Structures are given as structure tokens and as C-alpha cells.
A = this chain, B = another copy of it.
Amino acid sequence: MHGRVRVIPESTYDDPLVARLDQHIELSAADIALLGSVIDASVTISKRRDVVVDGYEFRKLYFIKDGFAARYRLLPNGKRQIINLLVPGDIIGVPSSFLDRANFSVTALTEMKVQACLLDAFVDLCYRHPKFGLALSWLAVEEATNYAERIVDIGRRTSIERLARFLIEMHSRLFVSGRATADGFDLPFSQEVMSDALGLSVPHLNRMFAQLRMDGLISLQDRHVKFCDIVVIQEFTHFHPRRLMRIPARRKPIIEKPEPKRPCKVRAAR
């Protein structure tokens, strides 16, 4: 593909699972070994393949090493809404794997490479090592937070703001894994995909792209997005990313089981 930029910084872990959890909690060498033990296999998924299918059970976690995917719902009227787009470092299986039957599908937009583990194996690990249960909570909270942002975007922002924010956000996400430069990146998605993510029609999305160019905010050439002035567009979109707190370390485990504590005051109330 023309213009593809791919700068993998040396600091990036080769292991997407470890890299992701490392953002939330301290991981010792022993922890990393434990994580390795629950990883089942390295799997390659071909383009256009549905990894998770709405209505069917899925009980795995896939940590994306390479490639792109979309979590989506297909409606009876044929329309599609993409919940979110998945890039390297993201996880397939949260929240799908936690439901009796998945309520969304996940489809590979490109060929993908993932690390796979069984949900049961991960849950088992959480029982043995509570820090991983907390890490899982943090991952799920992160997912919820991202979805909430999308609700605000689609519900109350103009279509051009939505698109501009989408581009800024995608740039920031791709930059983390070295798939973007300081002021631009190659869009891995077609306009159809983006319009389904933003709740717009393809022609309208296209017009909004044209307008962003007209307004001198971006340039676009063969799917390569370049921000003319990244500060200007950040202000235009009111882009203020919020970060999750890190998981508090375990307090000194006082012998093993003190449990004297004060009684629950709540029962008395009411």
C-alpha cells in the first residue's frame, strides 16, 4: 500500500497481552510467566472472517498482535452499527465471552494475528492470583469508558466533529503501537467501515471528509491522513483523553486472615 508508515518503537512489547496489562498494573517476571502459561496458541485469522458471531457462544480471549477488526451488530433492517474498531493491542472477547451467547459479532477487517487463551483458563488464573482478576476488571472498565465516549459522539456531536474526533482518536491509538507518525497515519478502514462506526451514511461521511480538507484541518491522499496542525484539530474536537488510574498494589497482607473489622453499619440503617 502506498505511503504506509510503520515505525515499531523498540519499547513495544512483542507480547500484546503483557503490554496491555502492564499499563494497568505492575507485572513481575513471575507474573509474565503466568500469563504465558494461559496463552493457548498464536492464531492467524483471515480477512473478512467473523471471529465472534452474534448469538453464538464464544469463550475465548484474543489479544491482537497484528491486524484490524470491528465489533458490530447487524440489525433486522440490514443496517450495521460498529461498536468499536479493534487495533493491535486490543482484545477480542471482552465483553462477548462473558455472555451466554455473544450479543455482537467481531469481524476481521484485515488478516490478523492474535494470541488466544480460553476464558476459563484466565478465570482460573484470576482465582489463583487475584491481581489478574483486578486487571480483568480494569480492561472491562476501559472498554465501558470507550463505549461511553462513543455514545456521546453519536448522540450529541455534529457529524464533522465525530469524524474529526475519530481521526484524532485513531491516530493516538495507532501511535502507541508505532503505526502512526507524529502528525499522520494510514487509515486502515474503508469509508463504509468508518460510516458504520460513526452512525453516518457513506456519502455523508465522504462529504465531511471533503469539508475537513476544505477547512484545512487535514489532508488525505490514498487513505493517508495528515493533520495540518494537530493542535488546531485537537481544539476543534475538544480532545481530552482521560486515563485509567493504575491498579493499587496489594497492601501488606497482614498475616493471612484478620477480619476483625468493624461491623457493617448499613444493616442498621433503615
Contacts and interface: CB of A to CB of B under 8 A. Distances in A.
B155 A81 contact: yes
A15 to B, nearest CB: 7
Interface stretch (A3-11, A140-148, A213-221): A140-148
A20 interface: no
Contacts of A100: 242-245
Nearest to A120: B248
Given A39-B265, A248-B123, A98 B138 contact: yes
Contacts of A81: 151-152, 155-156
A245 B96 CA distance: 10
A154 interface: yes
Contacts of A149: 103
Contacts of A2: none
A223 to B, nearest CB: 23
A94 interface: yes
Interface in A18-70: 33-34, 36-37, 39-42, 65
Contacts of A139: 137
Interface stretch (A127-135, A182-190, A202-210, A225-233): A127-135
Given A133-B130, A141-B140, A42 B95 contact: no
A155 to B, nearest CB: 3
Among A149, A152, A248, which residue has the most Cβ atoms of chain B within 10 A?
A152
A92 to B, nearest CB: 13
A10 to B, nearest CB: 16
Given A144-B144, A259-B37, A83 B266 contact: no
A66 to B, nearest CB: 9
Given A130-B130, A134-B123, A151 B83 contact: yes
A144 B36 contact: no
Contacts of A244: 98-100
A208 to B, nearest CB: 15
A150 to B, nearest CB: 5
A238 B76 contact: yes
15 contacts: A33-B264, A36-B264, A39-B266, A41-B266, A42-B266, A100-B243, A104-B148, A127-B250, A130-B130, A130-B133, A132-B133, A133-B133, A144-B147, A147-B150, A155-B199
Q: What 6 A-B pairs are tightest by C-beta distance, nearest first?
A: A133-B133, A36-B264, A155-B199, A140-B140, A147-B147, A42-B269
